[in-house]
Chains A and B, each alone.
Chain A
Amino acid sequence: MMGANNILPLFVIISLAGAFLTSIIGKRLKWFSDIMGSLTTLILFVLSLLAVRIVNTQGVVVYSVGAWKPPFGIAMVLDGFAAFMLVTVNLVAFSIAVYSINYMEKFTSKWKFYTLFLLMVGGMNGVVITGDMFNLFVFLEIASVASYALVAFGTERHELEAAFKYAVMSTLGSLFILLSIALLYSYTSTLNMADMATVLAEKGPKNITLMVSVLFIMGFGLKAALVPFHAWLPDAHPSAPAPISAMLSGVLIKSLGVYTLCRIFYNVIGMSPTISSILMFLGALSMVIGGLLAIGQWDFKRLLAYSSISQIGYIVLGIGLGTPLGILGGLFHLFNHSVFKSLLFLNSGAVEYSTGTRDLQQMGGLSKKMPVTSATNIIASMSITGIPPFSGFWSKLLIIIAAVQAGRYGYAFLAVLVSVLTLAMYMKVLKYAFFGSLREKWSQIKEVPFFMKLSMGTLAFICLVGGVLFLRSVSGVFLRPASEALLEGIKYAAIVLKGGQ
């Protein structure tokens, strides 16, 4: 049984081993934690590309941890959707690890940062790759608890306050999720997701399915920061160190919130028109409210945080539509948003690194002093607002077309409208931060160090060429298997159980 499927546990093992090693050696050897951070995430990224290849050549791969056959042991499942998320998570994680080499210099215990960072990455990979309901919860907790500590990493007053608020809200979300997993276990007496889907389909919809769906929407909605559950995000994301803000907004809310929502509602419980309309409604609500709140912000990172809520709305709207095009568009936007939102947060970090402020009104004319930062920021802004050749345009276009095709003209209209709002808020950032005349007090600032530039440049390049994913040949291996995995619905069970034999 040695072979391609042994790659599955590696996504968790490598990150955990990297974290433990960093915590032992990194304290004594300063350079070791930098190397470990970048090397571990690079290996994970390469493995995730390999995973995409495996899915395309061998189809769904199932791995039984400890050689216990499902449903008695824990299964890991690699399908199109999981491979897609792995690439997204590890790509962003790698560029952020490179960025942190320079950025985290000013913090005292770098090894603690890298240990927590790698554990968070491991948690996210675990959530994505697992095929077991309770295992999903365990990894969800690993990623969440690591992120609470990382938000508070600066240990200033407002950072601790934000981290506390985040921890309370997010724990509440975890509680809902745990409660619904317990209910599901008592009903189906199995924890394997595929097996659970089979049992649920046999027994038919009952009260408990409704209750569990509601709890899951609240729990994962909190993790994804959909609008009625979003209150923690605008505090937590700006308070973290910039690389962690990028990680949280870029991939954490997506792998813990959006991915899990999709996986459970499409593949385990089964999508119903009611849930579909709830998701679309929440998506549209987040889109509009996030956009409206973002536009009035003067704190660079807080503006970006509100904009994340708005963009998550697009993703959930697309996926909630439930049509093939809608899901494709939603996932495409998920990938794009991961890239450009991380880049924008890294930009804000670069500005803070050089000037020491996050207030847009204090900045101005920084493009003269920080050419790389401002150039990458322009690319990311164009991308998120949806200017044609950049990646964001194509994914938003897909979502809007899908909404029109599904007859949801109202939602399509809102999507266009919020796009205009997005344009306005990023024009504001560009105008106040990078264009205009340079203030006297910024005449001495320098561009950021090499690794930060490298990381921002790489992400900007992906924004530029991200539109390539739109081409049939590229999306055929990367995006389409992901959306097909969701469209299979509860047939997922049959596919996984067959692969497990």
Chain B
Amino acid sequence: MRRIISILLLGIIALGITLSLAKIPFGTPKTKVGRYYIDKGVEETGATNIVTSVVVNYRAFDTLGEVTVLFIAAIGLGAVLTTGRRKKPERKIEPASLVLYTGCRFLFPLILLFGAYIFVHGHLTPGGGFQGGAIVASAFVLTYLGCRERRISERGSKLAESLGGLIFVIVGLVGLAVGGYFLMNFLPKGIPNFLFSAGIIPILYIVIGVKVGSELAGIIDNLIEESE
């Protein structure tokens, strides 16, 4: 009975979505806001990656919100998982195999470098702070697999998270002081396609990259600690 009702409800929702989307012309040049970003994006923001120009410039305020959500997730998880029952794991950790151990030590700096490259070049090439941050975090995951006795410094990662958020807000406030608008792009836009271009976009993306990387690594660290 339950199953029938669920299928029926799903059917109703599917029908509703189909009917509402039936007559919408997707991908036509008429879409107002989207077309504007494509036409004016490079000229107005200096970023050749249009996605970046939307995410970190036109709608940078949303992005501030997104990184805050991630920050809350990290700090909330920390509060829920570790409060009051922090036990030192007694048992010996089994060392990883030689291949994994060597591989992780060899790859760790390279992955970090690649992650940093992705978020530093966020305004030029595909990718950006979130993607770069995820890559940085994957380097830490590899370390947890290969070099099992290593731990990231919790203080360091927490500091990076909070400072990251604070710098984002401060960059926005400088825009308010200089240009009169919060999160205004107050730096010169430079020549598109150069590393030093697009004003505040690279700064914000570096901050986001560091913040996302340390938050994801911190979340993984919290979860590992709890399962031990």
Residues of A bordering B, CB below 8 Å: 1-2, 6, 9, 13, 16-17, 19-21, 23-24, 27, 63-68, 71-74, 107-109, 112-113, 115-116, 119, 122, 126, 134-135, 138-139, 141-142, 145-146, 148-150, 152-153, 155, 160, 163, 179, 183, 186-187, 189-191, 206-208, 210-212, 214
Structural contact, A66 and B183, CB atoms closer than 8 A: yes
List residues of chain B with CB within 8 A of the CB of A155. 79-80, 83-85
Overall SS of chain A's interface: helix
CB distance from A163 to the nearest CB of B (A): 8
Complex Cα distance A191/B61, Å? 14
Structural contact, B58 and A116, CB atoms closer than 8 A: no
List residues of chain A with CB within 8 A of the CB of B62. 74, 134-135, 138
Contact with A along B28-71 (1 / 0, CB 8 A): 00111110110000000000000000000111111011101101
A66-B30 contact given A24-B166, A116-B72, A138-B65, CB 8 Å threshold: no
List residues of chain A with CB within 8 A of the CB of B61. 65-66, 74, 135
A73-B162 contact given A119-B72, A135-B65, A142-B69, CB 8 Å threshold: no
Contact of A20 (CB < 8 Å), options: B16, B22, B37, B162 = B162
Chain B's interface size range is 35 or more
Contact of A65 (CB < 8 Å), options: B17, B60, B85 = B60
Complex Cα distance A68/B56, Å? 12
What are 6 A-B residue pairs whose CB atoms fall within 8 Å in the complex? A67-B184, A74-B62, A109-B83, A135-B61, A142-B65, A149-B76
List residues of chain A with CB within 8 A of the CB of B158. 23, 27
Overall SS of chain B's interface: helix
Task: Tell me whether B78 is interfacial, beta carbon within 8 Å.
Answer: yes
Contact with A along B87-108 (1 / 0, CB 8 A): 0000000000000000000000
List residues of chain B with CB within 8 A of the CB of A109. 79, 83
Complex Cα distance A107/B80, Å? 12
Complex Cα distance A47/B68, Å? 22
Task: Tell me whether B75 is interfacial, beta carbon within 8 Å.
Answer: yes
Within 8 A of A (CB), among B176-207: 176, 179-185
Structural contact, B69 and A145, CB atoms closer than 8 A: yes
A-B CB proximity, top 9 nearest: A149-B76, A138-B65, A208-B20, A67-B181, A9-B182, A189-B31, A211-B20, A20-B166, A66-B183
- Knowing that A186-B26, A211-B19 are A-B contacts, what are 17 other residue pairs whose CB atoms are under 8 Å apart, sorted by A's residue number? A6-B176, A19-B165, A67-B185, A72-B33, A112-B75, A116-B72, A116-B79, A119-B71, A138-B65, A145-B73, A146-B76, A149-B75, A152-B76, A189-B32, A207-B16, A207-B20, A210-B20
